[in-house]
Amino acid sequence: MFPHLPDRYWLYNVRVPACLISGSISESIAIEPNLDGLALLNIEVRNGKIATILNSPSTSQSTPQIPLEEVLQVDWHHGIALPCFIDVHTHLDKGHIWDRAPNPDGTFESALRTVAHDRDMYWTYEDVYRRMEFGLKCSYAHGTKAIRTHIDCPEPQMAASFKAFQELRDTWRDRLYLQVVSLISLDLFMGDYGEQVADRIAELGGILGGVAYVNPDLEPQLDRLFRLAKDRGLDLDFHVDETDDPESNTLLHVAEAAIRNNFTGQIVCGHCCSLAVQDTEVAMKTIDLVKQADIGIISLPMCNLYLQDRTSKRTPRWRGVTLLHELREAGVPVAIASDNCRDPFYGFGDHDVMQIFAMSTQICHLDRPYGNWSRTVTQTPAGFMKLKDAGQIKVGASADLILFKARSFNELFSRPQSDRIVLRNGLAIDTTLPSYSELD
């Protein structure tokens, strides 16, 4: 039983990815992470913040060398602590429609058609609000503290969905930080409606985004979007190359457009699947330009494993994910996120970034030290969302932590971790998941 926590306590004998420790360590002993990249620490929590970080000698199995004054000391027995997750690419407005809108053959094309039909039939303000809030409840209980969600905003839908987002953002602001991204195809930005979308995103303090497809007008479409963003001081978030067609190279065009337009805002691109089926020379040219343009990449391994290379009665030949290792080796920041949840694009999921991280480790061969890859669901997406002090273990930061009994990443990835403890501002929250009946 986890104790009721006072305003001040010590959490000791806890293992933390060394790469996520930021700021001063209050002891002269150098951090010596193990082969998993985990360092053994003692952490003081005071008034909801991390007040002190000490090394815990690796031989210590009992009382650590911490101050002896009367204060609660919680021994975590070498279990792992992670900062609360940052889920930087989601589609909360699509979530949890599978029961009424299953994908008939599991393909990307069918997902597009099925979602469009469901949107036309059911997506009132009340419907979108209810399903989005269900997703927020799941995310919060699993240990997420910040979410960026793409919102479908074709002209008839934008008002209702953005209203639902805005009200949920206000209602949940003490528990979850929410960012919104517009989601329409780039051709729709060419007319007056593009101005309306950009203005509404600016009002919401959101991110301007869209889906890039290979077409003869791609360059002027990109230039238009970059101008709209520059005029309003907005960052950009693109869906690119969610296909196994090696001729799809919209990521390359986004990088060229960023350089051509001297864009100084932040850019991230999600999916980038076709990069993995292109010739090495072609892919590395794109990666070089992505680095030059200072673009961040978000991989969505679960959704793309589900959708890509899918043909009826044929076993898939590849995993659908982008070149995470090559991108990271080139110095490109990479993140992993959950994407769709229980909708035609991905028929499963529970908004659990721990599950995404565990499965991505296997799908993408994110090998040891696993701790270094923990940045992809914490520190790196926090940077994409411009969240100061989030996604790291830092003196002075809020004590927003997820505590696992697992003592190694092997143990962490081998069980569902349904007994995790989630701390927000240093206190354990209720991690009861919402009932599916709330969606009825």
**Beta carbons of 90 and 439 less than 8 angstroms apart:** no
- Exposed / middle / buried, residue 106 (Cβ in 10 Å: 0-12, 13-18, 19+): middle
Strand partners, 393: 21
| pLDDT given for residue 386 in this prediction | 98
Residue 360's Cα: distance from chain center in Å? 12
Mean pLDDT, the chain, rounded, equals 94
**What is the spatial distance between Cα 64 and Cα 73, in angstroms, rounded to a whole number?**
9
Catalytic residue among 32, 133, 242, 411: 242
Q: Stretch 392-418: mean pLDDT, rounded?
A: 96
Query: Among 26-35, 95-104, 266-275, 366-375, which is the least confidently predicted range?
Result: 26-35
User: Taking a C-beta distance cutoff of 8 angstroms, is the pair 328, 299 a contact?
Assistant: no
Model confidence at 22, in pLDDT bands (50, 70, 90)?
confident
Mean local confidence (pLDDT), 395-423? 97
Mean pLDDT of 181-185: 98
Q: DSSP for 212-235?
A: E---TTHHHHHHHHHHHHHHHT--
Among 20-29, 92-101, 332-341, 407-416, the least confident range: 20-29
> Could you give the C-alpha distances from 114 to 95, 134, 310, in angstroms and in order?
13, 21, 17
DSSP 398-412: B--EEEES-SSHHHH
Query: For residue 71, is pLDDT > 70?
Result: yes
Least confident of 206-210, 370-374, 375-379, 418-422: 370-374
Query: What pLDDT does 32 receive?
Result: 79
Q: Which amino acid is at 373?
A: W
Under DSSP, the state recorded for 71 is -
Identify the band that residue 396 occupies on the pLDDT scale cut at 50, 70 and 90. Answer: very high
pLDDT in tens, 210-228: 999 999 999 999 999 999 9
pTM of this prediction?
Answer: 0.96
Residue 236: how many CB atoms within 10 A of its CB? 25
- Distance of alpha carbon 393 from its chain centroid, rounded? 18
The pLDDT of residue 58 is above 80: no
pLDDT for residue 371: 87
Task: Tell me: pLDDT of 310 over 70.
Answer: yes
Instruction: Kindly state the percentage of the chain with pLDDT values over 90.
Output: 90
Q: Residue 214 carries which side chain, given as an amino acid letter?
A: V
For the sheet with 144-152, list strands across it.
85-90, 144-152, 177-183
- Which structure tokens are listed for 249? 């190279």
The two structure tokens encoding residue 192: 């007056």
- Show the domains of the chain with their CATH numbers: 8-83+392-428 (2.30.40.10), 85-384 (3.20.20.140)
Task: Give the range among 1-10, 252-261, 264-273, 312-321 with minimum mean pLDDT.
Answer: 1-10
Could you read off the pLDDT of 26-43 as tens digits, one per residue?
Answer: 444 567 789 999 999 999
DSSP sequence for 337-360: --B--SBTTBS---S-HHHHHHHH
The predicted pLDDT at position 2 comes to: 75
pLDDT at 56: 81
Question: Is a pLDDT exceeding 90 seen at residue 60?
Answer: no
Res. 434: pLDDT tops 70: yes
pLDDT score recorded for residue 61: 45
Active-site residue, 242 included: yes
More confident residue, 370 or 206: 206
Burial of residue 75 (number of CB atoms within 10 Å: 0-12, 13-18, 19+): middle
**The predicted structure's pLDDT at residue 257:** 98
